[in-house]
Amino acid sequence: MRNPPSQKTTPLHALQVELRGKMVPFAGYEMAVNFPLGVLGEHNYTRAAAGLFDVSHMGQFRLHGADRVKALESLLPADIATLAPGAMRYSQLTNDQGGIIDDLIVTNAGDCLFLVVNGTNKDGDLAHIQAAMPAGVSVEHRSEDALLALQGPGAATVMARLAPGAERLLFMTAMAINIDGVDCYVSRSGYTGEDGFEISVSGPQAEALARLLLAQAEVEAIGLGARDSLRLEAGLCLHGHDIDTTTTPVEAGLSWSIQKRRREEGGFPGAAVIQTQLRDGPARKRVGILPEGRAPARKGTSVLDADGAAIGAITSGGFGPSFGGPLAMGYVAAPHAKIDSPLGLVVRTKTLPAHVARMPFVPARYHRG
């Protein structure tokens, strides 16, 4: 069956089909939601060993030019100027209302800034960033490059075997390294809550590298379904669900990503709104939510307070395989955001009991040294 004309493919598409991936449309691409192991099996395998994810739909940009740091800081609230070579920082592109256009990772790659943005938003992000760059600062879209995520407790063992030195990276640091004759840019990062690595590689070399990784005893191919359940257990936001142009970093519980200098100086879109919320607190907050039965609460589920008044909505929800039950996250009015606050969830016309819970739901295992 041919792909619809509107669906693009990643450099690993043929390999995903060969591995009997169940192909679905996602972010404008045809990608595997799962392989024969199934979503539950893939989720558990990643927690136990090492899962290999194709995340090549993500946007990879490089900013060049002497004023690249100052130019990028005009678009986001993170302190980029203090990033040491090889260091990474999570941030958000904000609009004039403080809303999140997209969230992204910025790495000081030495001679450039390396940005990884969400696949769904990458074309808009590219136009947004390019429009704001001054003369002398250019944005290189590495549209042909692939991005692989190797996640799980076995990931470091695999990298030590294939790329000695990569296993010494700490969480949120990166380096250029050669893997079996292939030049790669490797970061100790990912979006599963597990220790792991993301590997940027040229498209033509991606399949050979993926096959090498899959040949390791610890590694299995993992699809989008398990990636979503892993990130939900980790309490990590998905743009378009848990964060969007109407939610601010403060409301989303991402204030930690705004460093002191930027909080004080501002100088980014929506700074006044965000600074006010940092000072006074937001009217609503993103929280973890645990249904008290076995029924999961999906996106859009209304959240009620103990008196039955509507106070918010679920933004992501489902069953947590490692957690062992249903879990969710969403926004509630700030007075109801305290841990253990009682809530009601309207599921199929019934109001089911729930409460506010700490995130992550499953402890993170990032390698911080």
Co-location of 216 and 296 in the same domain: no
Q: How many structural domains comprise the chain? A: 2
pLDDT of residue 266: 98
User: CATH number, domain at 175?
Assistant: 3.30.1360.120
CB pairs under 8 A, 24+ apart, for 28-37?
Answer: 28/57, 28/119, 28/120, 29/57, 29/119, 30/3, 31/57, 31/223, 31/224, 32/221, 32/223, 32/224, 33/223, 33/224, 33/225, 34/223, 34/224, 34/225, 34/226, 35/220, 35/221, 35/222, 35/223, 37/220
User: CATH number, domain at 336?
Assistant: 2.40.30.110
Please indicate, yes or no, if residue 255 is contained in any of the structural domains: no
Please indicate, yes or no, if residue 114 is contained in any of the structural domains: no
Co-location of 206 and 311 in the same domain: no
pLDDT of residue 1: 44
Co-location of 291 and 368 in the same domain: yes
Please identify, among 194, 213, 233, the residue that sits at the C-terminal boundary of a domain: 233
Please indicate, yes or no, if residue 299 is contained in any of the structural domains: yes
Q: Is pTM, for the whole model, over 0.85?
A: yes
Co-location of 53 and 191 in the same domain: yes
Co-location of 49 and 153 in the same domain: yes
* Whole-angstrom distance, CA of residue 208 vs CA of residue 279: 51
Co-location of 358 and 213 in the same domain: no
Domain limits at 176?
Answer: 13-57+144-233
pLDDT of residue 349: 87
Please indicate, yes or no, if residue 169 is contained in any of the structural domains: yes
Co-location of 199 and 315 in the same domain: no
Q: Look at residues 184, 135, 141, 138 and name the one whose alpha carbon lies nearest to residue 159.
A: 184
pLDDT along the chain (369 residues), means of 10: 70 98 97 98 98 98 98 98 98 99 98 98 98 98 98 98 97 98 98 98 98 98 98 98 98 98 98 98 98 94 97 98 98 98 95 98 97
Co-location of 148 and 211 in the same domain: yes
